[in-house]
Chain A
Amino acid sequence: MQKDDLHTIRFAAIICLVCSMGLAGVQGSLRGIQQKNKTIDGQINVLKALNPDFAPDGSPLSEDERLSYFLDGQVPKELIPDYFENYVVKEDVTLEDGKTDILYKLKKDDKVVAYAFPAQGKGLWSTVHSYVGLQSDMATIRGITFFDHGETPGLGGECSKPWFQKNFRGKKLWDDGEPVKLMIAKGDAEPETPYNVDGMSGATITGNGIEKFVNNTFREYNEAVFSEQRAM
């Protein structure tokens, strides 16, 4: 073997070793913070759907506080663990076809104030993830959040913006004893009904995708959980 071949191999080995050790070090030391960011991010999304009307100490929140906390997502980070320790209950539920998924309940004084379930489906480019929150009537949308998507910024990407998510609040997925189809308009909804949501102009396909998966997932949860609870 020639002398510079040996040098090449030795150099390659050293540089690989140094780089991998460096990366392992960086990743190891930052993992804790990253994990925490991720957990908090997930929890904020659940809270946006559950949309609590009280602070973790039990005192009521003003309307403005609620909007800034659970619509804009500006809930103070130190409050988040309190909500999850004392008020939010996570349950496994079995949907049709035997697949299991989760249902969050916001409980205060042993009464369920709100439900939230995860829903996801295709938008235009990507899978859009969401949590849908319902009032205790299991019919009216209390809060909703869309996140973790790859839709076009400014068009379909607007689905993760507060203005769009606000349009869903108070809309109905269940009325008069049966599921109703929530519809997302192309732009402003006309006429204004409890099932008609103002959409994002220029993002018809993202809107259609969201409409489909929100309706379908609600129906699955309705069959598996809500219809039973209503009967009780």
Chain B
Amino acid sequence: MTRAGIFKKGMQLTLSQDMAYKWNFLITVIATMFKDFIGPLIIILIYTSTSGIPGWSLYEFLLFQGTLTLVFGFGHFAFVQIPAKVISGVRRGTFDKYLLKPVDTLFYLTAIATDWDGLGQVAVGLALIIFAFIKLNLAISLNFWIYVLLILVAFIFQYAIMVLISALTFLIVQSWALLDLFFKISDFARYPSSVYGVGLRFMLTFFFPIAISAYYPSIVLINGFSIKLLLEAVIPVFVFFILSLYVWKLAMRKYTSAGG
């Protein structure tokens, strides 16, 4: 079977799993979408009763939030089940079955990681982006295509994080705690890096480049870009990505040697 074939099969499989309880699936999707509308609702409450967040008009902020929802929604849809499968697999001792497959383990895990609930979140993100895009009178210009490109880089960051968490499951602690920790830290991405102090902003760009999730794409779409800005947005993500693949390799080596 080709790699694309495996991917397709994996997606079919997860779809039928998610559909096992149809009502629950439907309600879960609605719940996810509802949850993602709460963020914008709070922002509207803030903007109607205060002057808002400095440097961002209401619609600019909604664009920011839509981008964030899209990126995290895609992470939820495509990648979040990777660490989930690893954690429960290692706990139950069923992880070895992934190692027996005749394809690369990480590829196989990615192929079966689709979580269809995430589509609702992606839809909410897209809806918010389109709404804000129209309200802000933006055009499909070069800025827009750079915006799209940065969102793709943000997807890569989502993947890198999930791979890193999966790897750390072998190396540090076998629990959901790491995944929770990531979601806690990712709360920093909920607001533009510009509201934080210089030190924090530096961390969120270079050390844990989560500012790529919404901050960098949005300011490029709204204000335009410079080469320097793009480099500081993109390079840390790729460094992070390579690092996480390396840690995964390390973890795999450790796991197989312990089992053999």
A and B interact physically:
no
Interface positions of A (Cβ within 8 A of B): none
